[in-house]
Amino acid sequence: MEASVLNIKKSLDLFLLTLLIFSANVALMAPISFYGFNIGLVFLISLAGFLFSKVLEKDSLIVISFIFFLFSPLLLIQATYLYYVDAIWVMGIFTIVISIATLLFYGFIKKINFDIVLKSIKYSIYIFSLPIIIQFFYVYILGGDPLTVDVATYLGGEYSRSGNTLNATVENIYTYRPTGLTSEPSMSSGVISSLIALYYTANKNANKIVIYAGLLAMILSLSTLGILMSIVMSMVIFINSAMKTFVFLIVSFFSSGFILFQLGNRYERFLSGDDGSNNIKKEVINYFFSDQMIMLFGYSNPVVSSFNSPIFFQAFGDLGFFLTIIGRYGLVVGAAFLIVFSVWLLKLKFNWKEYILIVIGLLKFATCLAPAFLIYCMILQRIKFERNK
């Protein structure tokens, strides 16, 4: 009887952590994705985990205090000089509250069996990798309509960026890039890379099949950044094995050809002004340095833009974690956070391979207050805690 109860508890623990990782990372262009998963489910699961563990960890309390006393005053300052105040108050307060709620879950992560943490990461890699692999084979091998496998449309949302570029036709099939459970190929690659970094750091001797699946999905997303990340991660993880190194070199050879073609194409489009994505990034950077208050205290932290906010607001997710932090919170608070974060990361004392993977896993996080980023950090802390036992 006791064994049965224990198995049920382990299954529930696994379900809660996996569902939290899924809810925090899914990013489809559908209202239910943001309000239902990123906010609603993350909040409820975090509170449930806190109630189950019945523990408020000292580490969580310190970070919660840090967030509250650093970002609440910043929010007040930003409201004095930014003209899209409606977005600042609503989403800024929302973000702080949901980040604090997420941190309450750390007691649960620290308390449950470490094998459950590993399984949860493994299942999460499969959850975010398989949709990309399925989309790729459905479109390129079976010749199916790309819009048929756009997950967001089944949830009442809009087509992903790949869907929009297709103009709802299959004739432009060569331009199709699978997006999986996010709205962009690079975003999906970022999610998978962060999960692979956690999985490898937690257990280098774990079954590599799940890592192969994740790296394959990053390549099949046809995201230039995703392919680059997969090559570097493969080099770090598999370079000690002769056979795996050979496979890696073959994959790298073909991937490099695609990357060079893409970079050349993007560069030409950028020079001609047709590359909307990179031109918007340029506009973000120029606007940042044109205003002293924005340079010091940032653009703020709304997760979605309002009707009054700049048209380039959505470009933050493409700037990379470190530049995004400076852009959102300015040279004062942003730099202070990055210094504190870097010190914390170094104190975990991982090896150089693990740090390379961890930094790669950070690249696509759009804010340090996002639940996905906080879960990433909490699991890293749990890995360190497990090693110190």
**pLDDT tens column, 142-174:** 988 888 888 888 888 787 776 544 444 444 445
Average pLDDT over residues 220-236: 87
**Nearest Cα to 92, choosing from 374, 324, 376, 369?**
369
Close Cβ partners of 205 (under 8 Å, ≥ 6 residues apart): none
Summarised one tens digit per residue, pLDDT across range 261-310 is 555 555 455 455 544 455 566 676 777 777 788 888 887 765 444 445 55
CA-to-CA distance for 181 and 70, rounded, in angstroms?
A: 32
Average pLDDT over residues 199-215: 88
| Distance of alpha carbon 213 from the chain centroid | 18
Average pLDDT over residues 236-257: 63
**Phi–psi pair at 27, nearest 5 degrees:** -145, 65
Reported residue count of the chain is 389
Strand-pair partners of 182:
27
Q: What per-residue confidence (pLDDT) applies to 301?
A: 63
Say yes or no to pLDDT of 383 above 90. Answer: yes
Q: How confident is the model at residue 86 (pLDDT cuts 50, 70, 90)?
A: low
**Phi–psi pair at 79, nearest 5 degrees:** -70, -15
Share of the chain above pLDDT 90, in %: 33
Q: What per-residue confidence (pLDDT) applies to 165?
A: 47
User: How far apart, in Å, are the Cα atoms of 345 and each of 9, 355, 358, 376, 377?
Assistant: 32, 9, 9, 12, 9
Say yes or no to pLDDT of 212 above 80. Answer: yes
Token look-up 């925090």 returns: 24
Q: What per-residue confidence (pLDDT) applies to 280?
A: 63
Share of the chain above pLDDT 70, in %: 78
CA-to-CA distance for 377 and 201, rounded, in angstroms?
A: 12
Greatest distance between any 2 Cα atoms in the chain: 70
Q: What per-residue confidence (pLDDT) applies to 121?
A: 97
Q: What per-residue confidence (pLDDT) applies to 298?
A: 83
Q: What per-residue confidence (pLDDT) applies to 172?
A: 44
Q: What per-residue confidence (pLDDT) applies to 304?
A: 45
User: How far apart, in Å, are the Cα atoms of 2 and each of 5, 14, 108, 144, 204?
Assistant: 5, 18, 21, 50, 33
Write the single-letter amino acid at 374. Answer: L
Token look-up 């999986």 returns: 180
Q: How confident is the model at residue 42 (pLDDT cuts 50, 70, 90)?
A: very high
Say yes or no to pLDDT of 52 above 80. Answer: yes
Summarised one tens digit per residue, pLDDT across range 2-24 is 667 677 888 899 999 999 999 99
Q: How many CB atoms lie within 10 A of CB 67?
A: 19
Q: What per-residue confidence (pLDDT) applies to 112?
A: 92
Say yes or no to pLDDT of 230 above 70. Answer: yes
First to last CA, the chain: 30
Average pLDDT over residues 194-200: 96
Report whether 334 contacts 161 (CB < 8 A): no
